[in-house]
């Protein structure tokens, strides 16, 4: 039996400093999970408020983004039954780009000058290749390569062993490479 | 180590800087004598950079940020507004605060002050009481997936509460209509000592009923001997209620527990 006390102003300040800057990252992850804006907004809101409610459990100095992503995936798993998820179309064009405000994250993206194949690939083709991956491979690539989580953090978010993260990542990248090589071959950049 | 072993077991983690000390040493030894695998490592790093650089980050929508900020600014423990109502920013006026305090007192004093009737609660507890006697599913109900899929087909929300961790079994689901023709779902759970009903329906009027308590982040009500959790989603004009005879605080704790 306990009543819910308001957070101290210090905790609120800590939340503003640590958790609020993560909202873009959480929303991005929510969009990829929910595949539509409305559900992603709900997920983001639920995650942020839950993070606030349980903020006393967050250890300052650790990765707040990883902690909030763990909450997000929990909320998603508990709220969306597998049957419902499979009903949703998996076409990449489901993301309504006209309505979504985009924010380019890296200002000066460095590209490997030796990777002619990869340089020739358009942004939307990379996204399509990623979206085309089976869900479990896409999730690890998103968390490790886009959200910059460690294998251990990724394993915690997905509630799987680290070995599983490693093998799914390996497989996911191999499939992506095949898709992108296929594109390059079609353009005549790669010989078969 | 041969190339196949390196590529299959080490390459990915090597590109991500996730090899353990011993693995790192062994991988380094192999690469020293293998230009092919060195090239593959560079290629793997390039692919990682490609995904990192080309997959966009999206900005969190302004209205969601605003709602979260509102919560931070108005956090004072006992509140009588939920997430849904943050759409209509609400200014605390002294009169309103007194009225809210009086309403809470009414709960505490229990029968001394008259309970404000809430028709949507009355309807729901009437159904709940009849289901306690006997619940007859009217959709295929052998599993969560069955019920969920049938709700989805009927254009009702397919999300189901899972009270299994507390020893509850899903008895099944029903899709009915309310007196005004709106579809409503009833999902019923039972364990040795208690039952829970989850009901969802669309509504145009979405004011939260009066006399709420915020427990575990949910609007909770004790109404005519029943505990009710009220979750309104104004974006889709959908209400979800959880109803039980479980005591209020225990019910709130149990809902929070299965939410995870």
- For the stretch B122-161, pLDDT in tens is 999 999 999 999 999 999 888 898 899 899 888 898 889 9
pLDDT at A111: 41
pLDDT surpassing 60 at residue B171: yes
pLDDT surpassing 80 at residue B83: no
Q: How far is A63 from chain B (nearest CA, A)?
A: 17
- In chain A, what residues touch B52 (CB-CB under 8 Å)? 106, 145-146, 148
CB contact under 8 Å between A105 and B56, yes or no, is: yes
Q: What is the mean pLDDT of residues B161-181?
A: 91
Secondary structure of chain A as H, E, C letters: CCCCCCCCHHHHHHHHHHCHHHHHHHHHHHHHHHCCHHHHHHHHHHHHHHHHHCHHHCCCCCCHHHHHHHHHHHHHHHHCCHHHHHHCCCCHHHCCCCCCCEECCCCCCCCCCCCHHHHCCCHHHHHHHHHCCCHHHHHHHHHHHHCCCCHHHHHHHHCCCHHHHHHHHHHHHHHHHHHHHHHHHHCCCCCC
Would you give the DSSP letter of residue B209?
P
- What percentage of chain B has pLDDT greater than the value 90? 45
Q: How far is B208 from chain A (nearest CA, A)?
A: 18
Q: Rounded to an integer, what distance in angstroms lies between the CA atom of residue B199 and that of residue B184?
A: 7
B228 against A95, higher pLDDT: B228
Q: CB under 8 Å to A153, separation ≥6 — which residues?
A: A63, A66, A69, A143
CB-CB: which of B51, B72, B145 is closest to A16?
Answer: B72
- In chain B, what residues touch A27 (CB-CB under 8 Å)? 58-61, 64
Per-residue pLDDT band at B237 (split at 50, 70, 90): confident
* Residue of A127, A36, A37, A42 whose CA lies nearest to A76: A42
Q: Is B5 helix (H, G, I), strand (E, B) or coil?
A: helix
Say whether residue B46 is in contact with chain A using an 8 A CB cutoff: yes
CB contact under 8 Å between A12 and B72, yes or no, is: yes
Q: Rounded to an integer, what distance in angstroms lies between the CA atom of residue A55 and that of residue B125?
A: 35
* Residue of A115, A127, A121 whose CA lies nearest to A184: A121
Q: Which residues of chain B from 168 to 207 reach within 8 Å of chain A, CB to CB? A: none
CB contact under 8 Å between B18 and A166, yes or no, is: yes
CB-CB: which of A24, A82, A123 is closest to B58?
Answer: A24
pLDDT at A26: 96
Say whether residue B108 is in contact with chain A using an 8 A CB cutoff: no
- For the stretch B40-53, pLDDT in tens is 999 999 999 989 98
- In chain B, what residues touch A38 (CB-CB under 8 Å)? 235-236
Q: Rounded to an integer, what distance in angstroms lies between the CA atom of residue B64 and that of residue A12?
A: 18
Q: In b/e form, how buried is each residue of B176-212, taking b as 16+ CB within 10 angstroms?
A: eeeeeeeebbbbbbbeeebbbbbbbbbeeebebbebb
B195 within 8 A of B131, measured Cβ to Cβ: yes
CB-CB: which of A4, A27, A100 is closest to B215?
Answer: A4
CB-CB: which of A7, A45, A102 is closest to B67?
Answer: A45
CB contact under 8 Å between B51 and A170, yes or no, is: no
Q: How far is A90 from chain B (nearest CA, A)?
A: 17
pLDDT at A188: 65
* Residue of B159, B194, B247, B248 whose CA lies nearest to A76: B159
CB contact under 8 Å between A145 and B48, yes or no, is: yes
pLDDT surpassing 80 at residue B96: no
For chain A of 192 residues, list the mean pLDDT of each consecutive stretch of 10.
Answer: 56 89 94 85 88 87 93 83 42 38 37 51 83 92 95 93 95 92 71 49
- In chain B, what residues touch A53 (CB-CB under 8 Å)? 217
pLDDT at B239: 92
Rg (CA), chain A: 19
A71 within 8 A of A50, measured Cβ to Cβ: yes
- In chain A, what residues touch B49 (CB-CB under 8 Å)? 109-112
Rg (CA), chain B: 27
Say whether residue B144 is in contact with chain A using an 8 A CB cutoff: yes
- For the stretch B31-82, pLDDT in tens is 999 999 999 999 999 999 989 988 888 889 888 888 888 777 766 542 333 3
pLDDT at A155: 94
pLDDT at A118: 62
HSE toward the beta carbon, residue B112, CA cutoff 13 A: 8
Q: What is the mean pLDDT of residues B154-174?
A: 91
* Residue of A174, A165, A95 whose CA lies nearest to A129: A174
């Amino acid at each position: 039996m306990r009543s819910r006390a308001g957070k101290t102003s210090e905790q609120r300040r800590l939340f503003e400093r640590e958790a609020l800057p993560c909202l873009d990252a959480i929303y991005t992850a929510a969009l990829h999970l929910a595949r539509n804006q409305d559900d992603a907004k709900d997920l983001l809101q639920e995650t942020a408020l839950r993070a606030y409610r349980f903020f006393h459990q967050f250890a300052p100095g650790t990765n707040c983004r990883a902690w909030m992503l763990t909450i997000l995936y929990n909320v998603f798993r508990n709220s969306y039954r597998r049957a419902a998820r499979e009903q949703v179309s998996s076409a990449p064009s489901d993301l309504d780009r006209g309505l979504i405000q985009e924010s380019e994250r890296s200002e000066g993206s460095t590209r490997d000058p030796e990777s002619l194949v990869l340089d020739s690939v358009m942004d939307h083709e990379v996204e399509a290749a990623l979206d085309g991956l089976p869900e479990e491979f896409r999730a690890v690539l998103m968390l490790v390569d886009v959200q910059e989580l460690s294998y251990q953090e990724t394993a915690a978010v997905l509630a799987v062993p680290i070995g599983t993260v490693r093998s799914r990542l390996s497989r996911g990248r191999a499939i992506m490479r095949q898709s992108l090589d296929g594109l390059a071959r079609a353009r005549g950049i790669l010989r078969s | 180590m041969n190339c196949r072993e390196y590529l299959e077991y080490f390459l990915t983690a090597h590109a991500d800087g996730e090899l353990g000390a011993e693995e790192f040493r062994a991988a380094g030894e192999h690469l020293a004598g293998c230009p092919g695998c060195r090239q593959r490592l560079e290629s793997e790093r390039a692919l990682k950079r490609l995904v990192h650089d080309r997959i966009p980050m999206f900005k969190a929508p302004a209205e969601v940020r605003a709602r979260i900020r509102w919560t931070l600014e108005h956090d004072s423990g006992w509140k009588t507004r939920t997430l849904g109502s943050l759409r209509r920013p609400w200014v605390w006026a002294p009169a309103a605060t007194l009225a809210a305090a009086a309403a809470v007192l009414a709960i505490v004093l229990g029968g001394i002050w008259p309970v404000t009737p809430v028709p949507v609660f009355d309807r729901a507890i009437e159904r709940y009481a009849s289901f306690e006697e006997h619940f007859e599913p009217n959709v295929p109900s052998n599993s969560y997936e069955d019920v969920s899929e049938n709700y989805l087909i009927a254009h009702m929300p397919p999300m189901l509460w899972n009270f299994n961790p507390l020893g509850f079994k899903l008895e099944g689901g029903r899709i009915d209509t309310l007196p005004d023709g709106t579809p409503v779902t009833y999902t019923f759970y039972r364990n040795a000592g208690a039952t829970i009903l989850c009901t969802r329906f669309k509504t145009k009027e979405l004011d939260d009923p009066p006399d709420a308590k915020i427990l575990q982040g949910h609007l909770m009500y004790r109404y005519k001997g029943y505990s009710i959790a009220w979750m309104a989603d104004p974006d889709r004009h959908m209400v979800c209620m959880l109803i039980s005879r479980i005591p209020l605080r225990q019910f709130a704790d149990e809902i929070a527990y299965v939410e995870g």
